[in-house]
Chain A
Amino acid sequence: MDAKMEDPVAEVSTSEYTVAPSMAAKMVEKSPYAMLKESKLSVEEIVAKMLSLKKDDNSNPKLRELVTQMLLHFVNLRQANRKILIEEDRVKAETELAKAPVDSTTLQLHNLMYEKSHYLKAIKACKDFKSKYPDIQLVTEAEFLSQAPNEFKGTSISNETAHNVMLKRLNYELYQRKELCKFREKLELKKKSLLETIAIRKKFLSSLPSHLKALKKASLPAQNQFGILHTKKQKQLHAAELLPPALYIIYSQFMAQKEAFGENIELEIIGSLKDAQTFVRRQASKDNGISSLQESSRVDDDVVDEEDDSQRRRKRPKKVAGKENVETSGIYLAHPLRIILNVHDDEVSESDPKPAKLVTLKFEYLFKLNVVCVGVEGSDQGPDNSILCNLFPDDKGLELPQQSAKLLLGDGAEFDESRTTRPYKWAQHLAGIDFLPEVSPSLSNNEATKFETGKDTIMSGLSLYRQQNRVQTVVQRVRSRKKAQLALAEQLDSLTNLTWPSLTCQSVPWASHEHLCFLHKWLLVGSSHNLGLSLPSVDLEQQCHDSLDDDVAGRAGTSKEEVEVGIVKEDGELPSLIPEAVVTDDKSNNHASGAKHSAKRMTPIPKSIGLPIKTVRNPSFGRYEEDIDLMLDSESELDDSTKFEMENECVNPEDNSWVDYGVKEYDLVMTRRRDVQEGNVDLEAKVRISMEYPTRPPLFKLSLCSQSPGVKSSSIEHPVWYNELRAMEAEVNLHIIKMLPPDQENYILSHQVHCLAMFFDFYLHEASQPSLGSKCNSVIDIGLCNPVSGGLNARSFRGRDRRKMLSWKDMECTSGYPF
């Protein structure tokens, strides 16, 4: 607008002089705008005139006028402009004035708007408000109407608003709940009182078992008196139920044997019942989950019953278990229960009606290996000397019977030798664990022995089990073994004391023979497992003991040694910590006085201590002989296979190593005193006593030493004697055993020693006074004074091996026949 306005102004200014002053005058009275417009128009007219004038004639006097007019118009224009500006200012001021009230009103309006929205929000919040208990369970309206008493319903419920009804319902609800609370309290009280009565009754009940126990205990003497032993039996039966199947079979079969045949045995189950129960439970849960819960609860009930007497018995099993837990590692874990079997003597002596206890066996079950182990309870001997060893052939108890167990234990591993109980094969048979032999029966030429494997065949195997009389066999074997061992120990004792073992049997010639020789030495030189090794301290002690005995025995003959004997005796009484000192002392004694009393007996200690036993005899061939023995045994086992002419001489030396297991070797020396010139003669015998004594009789190996005066004892084998020694061996080892009456079986060793002594006497006697000259007896019948014709040659030798003949007359032997 400005530009518009200026433009005309500029134009006006340029053509000012064209504006007519008359026009300007007129415009004053009009509105500025109209004036402005008029002026403008006039200006434009003037300018147009001026332009046309200019074209015609530049110097027209009218121009001046026109310019004046123009100027007038310009003035008008300026005036109009000023007026417009003034008017504008005025309008602006007016507008300012009018704006203030408008603003305040607008503010007011805004306030009101805000207020309104706030209220709206508050209203919405109120509307949205939720109750703290949004869903109080109320009885339904219909129920409320029908059941609530009037005081809650009010007079006319139909008229009430929904809200009020609700309130009423709530009230009613409150009331009802309060009532219920009261009722609950009442019940609580009642319950408490009931609990109290229950507690009292329970207390009575729990005190009842102990009363019963007391009664039971009180009845024990009575039970003992009457021999019923109900309580113990009950307990054992209960324990038996917890036994693993293998031990259970042993237990039940022994029990049956005892009850059916009156076998003199006693059975007992020891071990912690609790452990057994946990074991059973664990086993059961492993097998079939929770199904055994019921059983275990029953079992639990019994625990209480057993509690106090396990308390009583705790001492022993605790100790055992504790000890074994340390040494058993995983695989040797034993079932907590064990069976103790007491075997009594079956011959009842008249003096003592109660048979003597022979041996106590302990059966335990290694569940990892599934084997039953047996040991002798309370034996002071090591496991190697156990009487159970080789109770049956090839059963030294080191080899695990089942292949599976063998695999478990690792390749080629044997059963831990240090354990006191061992998995003998017969124990497995007793437990019904029948196993397959290592090689097939056809190969080892077994006559159709049927073996079953696996637990599931146990039941079917039981009839077989009974048919085979396993229990009876084992009991008899154990009994006879123990008796044999007792008898053997007795004989060994007397031999160790260098006295002739006594013989009860008088029907054999050597029993009444007066021995001309005497026992000089009896010494344990080793047992099979430490042969060739240095002798253990026990043996040293034994030897010291022996040497002591020796010297004591020697004292009778030689009073000169008195002083020495004293010394040795003193040494012998020293603690065994210094056995070597004793020995060396002894040795030096011998060396020092060796020459002096060479004519007397020599204590054999230096020889046997210094050298391993094997070297005493011809070493290379000694080994060889052993091999022969082994082969013999193996071959006779295979004896009966006669299918082929081919003999199975496969001789695996290990096959029969069991025979030598636990063999004890003794050194026996018999000495015959002779003239001083001839010197004494020693008959030395190596006696090997097997575990299977007396079934496998002791084996004697003989050699002869003659002591000439001045020379130390030399074991030169007199060639003349060679055959005779062999013949004596054969006689002692084999032939006399066939002659012995069966009841003398346990005394085989004594018989052998006596017989050997008798032979020794005879042979020496013959050697000292050879051929008696005339051997032809002619007889003269004096009454008729006629010589009776004929004669008989008396002989004392016979055969290619020049066997000596002994005639047995009146329980006494003489040499030669006829005599």
Chain B
Amino acid sequence: MVMDVTNWDEDEYRNTILHERGFQYRTIFRAIFAPSSNPNPSSDIVVSASSDGSVATYSLSTILSSQEIRNGISSAKQVLAAQPNCFLQAHEGPAYDVKFYGDDADALLLSCGDDGRIRGWKWKELEDFMTNRQKQGSHVKPTIDLINPQHRGPWYAMSPISENNAMAVDHQGGSIFAAAGDSCAYNWDVETSKIKMVFKGHSDYLHCIVFCKGINQIITGSEDGTARIWDCRSGKCTQVISPKRDENLKELSSVSCIALDASESWLAYGSGQNLFVWNLLASDQISRICIPTTCQDVVFDDNNILAVGASPMLSRMDMDGKILSQIRCAPESAFSVSLDQSGVIAVAGYGGLIDVISQFGSHLCTFQPTSL
């Protein structure tokens, strides 16, 4: 907006500046690829959850083509400003996680956030909005809207609603598992929108949660420094995984991220500056990988582990912890790394930046979402 003395509005200008600055200080907590109906080419839509509570979708092809129109040649180091295809003001506080529930026509886009809610939209409806080029999707009603329960304190005090830090889904069982801020994990029934099961046992809030389909278990990681395996039928904790204590580890770092491989026999979780690889079948820690920064997200890529942390670096390691490659990525501190089935990687984090890296390790594009 060009403003000068002829049309001066100081408040508006100030707001514009703060608004601009807001983009820089936003955090994208999660960026995932939407499942695409045809696997080739790779999925085009990236869904992000950011600290301003928004869930937005971006079309990579649009961003890339507009970039090419502008510049002819795309340079990987350039940060693009991208407008969302579809923008949902999903949560009051930050939105921490987005997940797809199912991948067919009835798929739901789930998001959870700081306000303790889990909301789900019909992906098809959102896609319709995208194709119709209506960006404001907030009037699309969420089909499910779950809210964490409050705990009772003395004298009828109610605790604040705790946040949901992560979600896992069991599409077959019709369940959503939420890692909540009140040290509990909840199992929500999608059909009835009721809590089926509460997993209590952690002593501090939960950071992450994954679902093991094969054995119908969930694994949670908590601020208290442990990961726990829970049985979904009984709701009992079957195992507490805590890293083998080294003498120089003074305290337990929180388990900030957790990942399962495709065979559901390997578990990787990040705790502080360490990444632990655990074999579920043997129930034993296989390796401990020291990484230079705190680990903030981890994901399996076949036999490799991709990890990001509080540095602008994406590390690819094998199971033994040998670092295969390190790719510099845009966010100074990354909170999310996710994979497409074709191997395209999306890294998101501070600065409101999403970096899309091709399966070959080159930057496809880096963009900074803007709101409308």
Q: A642 is contacted by which of B7, B10, B135, B368 (Cβ under 8 Å)? A: B135
Q: Are B4 and A635 touching (Cβ within 8 A)?
A: no
A210 at the interface (CB under 8 A from B): no
Q: Interface readout for B37-76 with A: 1 if CB under 8 Å, 0 if not? A: 0000000000000000000000100110111011100000
Question: Which residues of chain B have C-beta atoms less than 8 A from A430's C-beta?
Answer: 5
Interface string of A685-698 (1 = CB under 8 A from B): 00000001001110
User: Which residues from chain A contact B62 at a C-beta distance below 8 Å?
Assistant: 645-646
Q: How far is it, in angstroms, between the C-alpha of A750 and the C-alpha of B67 when the chains are bound?
A: 41
Flag if B80 contacts A647 (CB, 8 Å): yes
Q: Is A179's beta carbon under 8 Å from chain B?
A: no
Minimum distance in angstroms from A657 CB to a CB of chain B: 16
User: Is A782 in the interface zone, CB < 8 Å from B?
Assistant: no
Interface assignment of B145: CB less than 8 Å from any CB of chain A: no
Is B187 engaged at the interface, CB distance under 8 Å to the other chain? no
Q: Which residues of A contact B94 (CB under 8 A)?
A: 799
The docked-state distance in angstroms from the alpha carbon of A394 to that of B5 is: 12
Tell me whether B1 and A723 are in contact (CB under 8 A). no
A791: interface (CB < 8 Å)? yes
Q: B77 in the interface, Cβ–Cβ < 8 Å?
A: yes
Contact A645 B5 (CB under 8 A): no
Q: Which of B22, B24, B66 interacts with A649 by CB under 8 Å?
A: B66
Tell me if A631 is interfacial: C-beta within 8 Å of chain B. yes
A419 contacts partner chain B, Cβ-Cβ < 8 Å: no
Q: A449-B7, A799-B114 in contact; A628/B79 too (CB < 8 A)?
A: yes
Evaluate contact between B96 and A799: CB separation under 8 angstroms.
Answer: yes
Q: What is the CB-to-nearest-CB distance from A786 to chain B, in angstroms, rounded to a whole number? A: 11
Tell me the smallest distance from the CB of B259 to a CB of chain A, in Å: 15
Contact of B24 among A628, A642, A646, A719 (CB under 8 A): A628
Main SS class of interface, A:
mixed
Query: Given A645-B62, A722-B333, A729-B25: A798 and B2 within 8 A (CB)?
Result: no
A426 interfacial by beta-carbon distance below 8 Å: yes
Which residue on A lies nearest to B156, using beta carbons?
A: A790
CB neighbours of A790 from chain B (8 A): 151-154, 157
Instruction: For the complex formed, measure the closest distance between the CB of A696 and the CB atoms of chain B, giving whole angstroms.
Output: 5
Judge whether B18 and A649 touch: CB under 8 Å: no
**A639 within 8 Å of B by Cβ?**
yes
**A residues in contact with B312, CB < 8 Å:** 621
Which B68-107 residues have C-beta < 8 A from chain A?
69-71, 77-83, 85, 94, 96-97
The proximity string for A residues 648-667 relative to B, scoring 1 for CB distances below 8 Å and 0 otherwise, is: 11110000000000000000
Q: Does A789 contact B (CB under 8 A)?
A: yes
Within 8 A of A (CB), among B315-372: 332-333, 335, 350-351, 353, 368, 370, 372
A800 touches B5 (CB 8 A): no
B163 interface hit (Cβ, 8 Å):
yes
Secondary structure type dominating chain B contacts: mixed
Q: Report whether B4 and A425 are in contact in the complex, using a CB–CB cutoff of 8 Å.
A: yes
B265 contacts partner chain A, Cβ-Cβ < 8 Å = no
Is the C-beta of B205 less than 8 angstroms from some C-beta in chain A?
yes
Assembly CA distance A791 to B151 (angstroms): 8
Residues of B within 8 A of A695 (CB): 10, 13-14, 17
| Residues of chain A at interface, number, CB under 8 A | 82
Please count how many residues in chain B sit with their CB below 8 Å of the partner chain's CB atoms.
86
Q: Are A635 and B81 in contact (CB under 8 A)?
A: yes
Complex CA gap A769/B20 in Å reads: 37
Q: Are A802 and B254 in contact (CB under 8 A)?
A: yes
Q: How far is the CA of A700 from the CA of B79 in the complex (A)?
A: 21
Residues of B within 8 A of A449 (CB): 2, 6-7
**B223 — which chain A residues lie within 8 A by C-beta?**
797, 802
A-B contact list, 17 entries, CB within 8 Å? A429-B6, A447-B1, A449-B2, A468-B6, A477-B5, A624-B77, A628-B353, A636-B81, A645-B85, A646-B62, A649-B80, A723-B310, A730-B25, A734-B22, A789-B154, A798-B205, A802-B254
Since A477-B5, A647-B82, A799-B165 are in contact, a sample of 17 more A-B pairs with Cβ atoms closer than 8 Å, ordered by chain A residue number, is: A393-B4, A445-B1, A477-B8, A624-B77, A635-B81, A645-B59, A649-B66, A651-B80, A651-B81, A697-B21, A722-B333, A723-B333, A730-B25, A770-B251, A779-B154, A791-B151, A797-B223
Name B's A-contacting residues (CB within 8 A).
Answer: 1-8, 10, 13-14, 16-25, 27, 29, 59, 62-63, 65-67, 69-71, 77-83, 85, 94, 96-97, 114, 133, 135, 151-155, 157, 159-160, 163, 165-166, 181-183, 204-205, 207, 223, 251, 254, 256, 272-273, 292-294, 296, 309-312, 332-333, 335, 350-351, 353, 368, 370, 372
Chain A positions within 8 Å of B, measured between CB atoms, are 392-395, 425-426, 429-430, 434, 437, 441, 444-447, 449, 451, 464, 468, 470, 473-474, 477, 621, 624, 627-629, 631-640, 642, 645-651, 692, 695-697, 719-720, 722-723, 726, 729-730, 733-735, 737-738, 770-771, 775, 778-779, 781, 788-793, 795, 797-802, 817
